[in-house]
């Protein structure tokens, strides 16, 4: 009898909590039902949208697809391409390149002076370059670094090009020598009679007389002639190519 009374007392004490739990469960169920009905109404109003009936959120993949479509429809501002920029640069460069020689820098476009024969005659011994030729006067084989232009002794020797006199003096092998320089070019006239008519530092014009023809000691076995040498930037070149305009 005592045990029965204890059991009844226990259920009477817990009855309040059981009733409270039933009420909470009923409220949760009602809320879930209301949410499902709301989602169903939204799907009816927007059939194209993708909604999850379990979570009630938008499908992220479908959302991303729509965003991509909208971005493609937006106008994109075109920026100048590198090729167009290069074209502008090329146009500017070509414009500079087409400038007159006076507008160029460092004299890179400056033309070399014109040339003519310093004496009236013909070339009797050509420039040999690296090839050895026999020298009858010295009886040996050596290179011939210039050209020999035949002319009578006492013939006037004129400047083949305009320039500055950079050397006047006597050489044991080549006689009286005059050197005239213009830019990178230097002409060396060998075989004057007595003292030449110009001095170091003189500015001479093309065709101006430098002196008269004498003899070349290293080539006395040859007929009278003027020995003419040429260098460009210190390197030997064939004077005939300058005179002929090649």
Confidence of residue 39 (pLDDT cuts 50, 70, 90): low
- Whether residue 89 is predicted with pLDDT greater than 90 in this model: the reply is no
Of residues 196, 192, 197, 162, the one with CA closest to residue 174:
192
Task: Tell which wins on pLDDT, 3 or 123.
Answer: 123
What is the spatial distance between Cα 213 and Cα 158, in angstroms, rounded to a whole number?
10
Q: For residue 185, what are the β-bridge partners?
A: 182, 232
Q: How confident is the model at residue 230 (pLDDT cuts 50, 70, 90)?
A: very high
Which run of H or E residues covers position 225? strand 225-232
Q: How confident is the model at residue 243 (pLDDT cuts 50, 70, 90)?
A: confident
Measured between alpha carbons, how far is 23 from 26 in angstroms, rounded to an integer? 5
Least confident of 64-78, 82-96, 209-223: 82-96
The residue-averaged pLDDT of 202-219 equals 97
Please give the average per-residue pLDDT across 86-95, as a whole number: 35
Say if residue 98's pLDDT is above 80. Answer: no
Instruction: Give the C-alpha separation, 138 to 56, whole Å.
Output: 114
Beta bridge partners of 58: 51
Mean pLDDT score across all residues of the chain: 75
Are 116 and 160 contacting, i.e. CB atoms less than 8 angstroms apart?
Answer: yes
List, in order, residues 6 or more apart from 104 with CB less than 8 Å away: 110
pLDDT in the model for residue 94: 34
pLDDT on residue 85: 37
Strands (DSSP E) found in 66-162: 123-125, 132-135, 140-143, 146-150, 156-158
User: Distance between CA atoms of 182 and 146, rounded to whole angstroms?
Assistant: 18
Q: Give backbone dihedrals phi and psi of 133, rounded to 5 degrees, phi first.
A: -125, 155
Buried b (16+ CB within 10 A) or exposed e, 234-246: eeebbbbebbeee
Q: Render pLDDT for 99-119 as a digit per residue (tens, 0 to 9).
A: 333 333 444 445 667 899 999
78 has a pLDDT exceeding 60: no
DSSP 104: S
Distances (CA, A) of 47 to 67, 138, 167: 18, 114, 103
- List, for residues 41-57, the tens digit of each pLDDT value: 555 555 544 444 444 44
In the predicted model, is pLDDT for residue 24 greater than 80? no
Domains and CATH numbers, the chain: 2-73 (no CATH), 123-243 (2.70.70.10)
Q: What is the pLDDT of residue 88?
A: 38
The rounded distance, in Å, linking the Cα atoms of 133 and 219 is 13
Q: What is the pLDDT of residue 114?
A: 86
**69 — pLDDT class (breaks 50, 70, 90):** very low
Q: Which of 35-49, 125-139, 223-237 has the lowest mean pLDDT?
A: 35-49
What pLDDT, in 10s, does the model give residues 155-196?
999 999 999 999 999 999 999 999 999 999 999 999 999 889
């Amino acid at each position: 009898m005592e045990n029965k009374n204890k059991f009844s007392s226990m259920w009477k004490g817990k009855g309040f909590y059981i009733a409270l739990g039933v009420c909470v469960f009923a409220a949760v169920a009602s809320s879930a039902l209301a949410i499902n009905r709301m989602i169903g109404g939204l799907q009816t109003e927007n059939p194209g949208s993708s909604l999850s009936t379990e979570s009630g959120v938008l499908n992220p993949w479908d959302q991303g697809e729509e965003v991509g479509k909208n971005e493609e429809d937006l106008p994109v501002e075109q920026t100048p391409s590198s090729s167009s920029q290069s074209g502008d640069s090329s146009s500017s460069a070509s414009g500079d390149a087409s400038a007159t020689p006076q507008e160029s820098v460092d004299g890179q476009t400056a033309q070399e002076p014109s040339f003519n024969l310093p004496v009236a005659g013909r070339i009797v011994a050509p420039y040999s370059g690296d090839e050895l030729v026999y020298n009858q006067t010295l009886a040996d084989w050596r290179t011939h670094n210039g050209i020999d232009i035949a002319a009578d002794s006492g013939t006037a020797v004129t400047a083949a090009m305009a320039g500055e006199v950079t050397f006047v003096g006597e050489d044991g092998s080549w006689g009286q020598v005059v050197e005239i320089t213009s830019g990178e070019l230097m002409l060396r006239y060998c075989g004057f009679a007595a003292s030449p008519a110009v001095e170091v530092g003189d500015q001479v014009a093309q065709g101006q007389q430098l002196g008269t023809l004498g003899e070349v000691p290293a080539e006395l076995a040859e007929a009278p002639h003027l020995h003419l040498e040429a260098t460009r930037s210190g390197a030997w070149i064939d004077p005939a190519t300058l005179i002929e305009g090649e």
